[in-house]
Structure 1
Amino acid sequence: MQANNLNLRWKLKTFENLTPTELYALLRLRSEVFVVEQNCVFLDMDNKDQFSYHNMAFIGEELVAYTRLIPPQKVYPYMSIGRVVTSPGFRKKNIGRILMHESIQTCYTLFGKAPIQIGAQLYLKKFYESFGFVQSSPVYDEDGIDHIEMIKQPDSV
Structure 2
Amino acid sequence: MELHCKRFDELTTTELYEILRLRVDVFVAEQECARKEIDGKDNHAYHFWVSDENGLQGYLRVLEPGINSEHVAFSRMVVRKRGCGLARQLLTVGLHHAKNVMGADAVTVTARYTTTGMYEKLGFHKYAEPVIMDGTEYVPMKNDLSSI
Bucket of the pairwise TM-score, normalised by the shorter protein: over 0.9
Structure 1 residues not aligned, in runs of 5+: 1-7
Q: Which amino acid aligns with 1:94?
A: G
Classify the secondary structure of the residue corresponding to 2:101.
Answer: helix
Indicate the residue corresponding to 2:32 in structure 1: 39
For residues 135 and 101 of structure 2, the distance between their equivalents in structure 1, rounded to whole angstroms, comes to 33
1:12, 1:54 within 8 Å by CA — same for their partners in 2? yes
Q: Report the TM-score, using the length of structure 1 for normalisation.
A: 0.89
Structure 2 residues not aligned, in runs of 5+: none
1:139, 1:147 within 8 Å by CA — same for their partners in 2? yes
- Cα offset for 1:61? 5.7
Q: Report the TM-score, using the length of structure 2 for normalisation.
A: 0.94
**Deviating 4+ runs (over 6 angstroms):** none
1:131, 1:156 within 8 Å by CA — same for their partners in 2? no
The Cα RMSD (Å) is 1.3
Select the residue among 35, 39, 48 that pairs with 1:55.
48
> Are 2:18 and 1:25 equivalent residues in the alignment?
yes
Indicate the residue corresponding to 1:101 in structure 2: 92
1:1-150 aligned within 5 A: 8-60=1-53, 62-87=55-80, 90-150=81-141
For residues 5 and 110 of structure 2, the distance between their equivalents in structure 1, rounded to whole angstroms, comes to 21
Report the number of matched residues.
Answer: 148
